């Protein structure tokens, strides 16, 4: 049993923005071209199918751009996710070919501003799709 959730990318995130090199205008006008993996859960015994999480993640990212193109009329150029290192290691993203681009500042969007500190700095991973 498993669950995966995808949404549009965040408006801005310094580690990702540095990696892709988008201008500020592109950064705010194109978040729909970035897929944010906001939920991922696999509930299975590891001895039944070793490395199931990284296999499933790799398979999802191979079809994500084409699926979005078919459903919404635009491709996905990049996949991103945030990993809370206090709870997870991010190893399944690394095994699925994602790259670590850095840590966030630990703030969230609130009331239209991105400065609501929640003190949970997260590791950011990205994968180029096209």
Question: Token pair of 104, please?
Answer: 């966030």
Give the CATH number of the domain where residue 101 resides: 3.40.630
Split into its structural domains, the chain has a count of 1
- pLDDT score of 67: 92
pLDDT mean values, one per 10 residues, the chain (130 residues): 83 79 79 89 78 89 93 92 90 92 76 60 89
Range(s) of the domain holding residue 68: 2-128
Distance of alpha carbon 88 from alpha carbon 101, whole angstroms: 16
What local confidence, expressed as pLDDT, does residue 114 receive?
Answer: 53
Q: What is the pLDDT of residue 112?
A: 57
Q: Give the pLDDT score at 119.
A: 65
The CA–CA distances, whole Å, from 80 to 29, 37, 48, 49, 58 equal 17, 6, 28, 25, 13
Phi, psi of 56 (to 5 degrees): -65, -40
């Amino acid at each position: 049993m498993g669950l995966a959730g995808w949404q549009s990318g965040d408006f801005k995130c310094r580690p990702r923005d540095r990696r892709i090199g988008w201008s500020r205008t592109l950064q705010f006008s194109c978040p729909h071209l970035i897929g944010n993996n906001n939920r991922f859960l696999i509930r299975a015994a590891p001895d039944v199918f070793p490395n199931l999480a990284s296999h499933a993640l790799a398979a999802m990212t191979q079809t994500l751009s084409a699926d979005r193109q078919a459903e919404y009329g635009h491709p996905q150029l990049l996949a991103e996710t945030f990993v809370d290192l206090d709870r997870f290691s991010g190893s399944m993203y690394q095994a699925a070919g994602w790259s670590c681009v850095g840590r966030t500042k630990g703030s969230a969007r609130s009331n239209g501003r991105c400065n609501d500190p929640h003190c949970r700095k997260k590791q950011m991973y990205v994968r180029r799709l096209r």
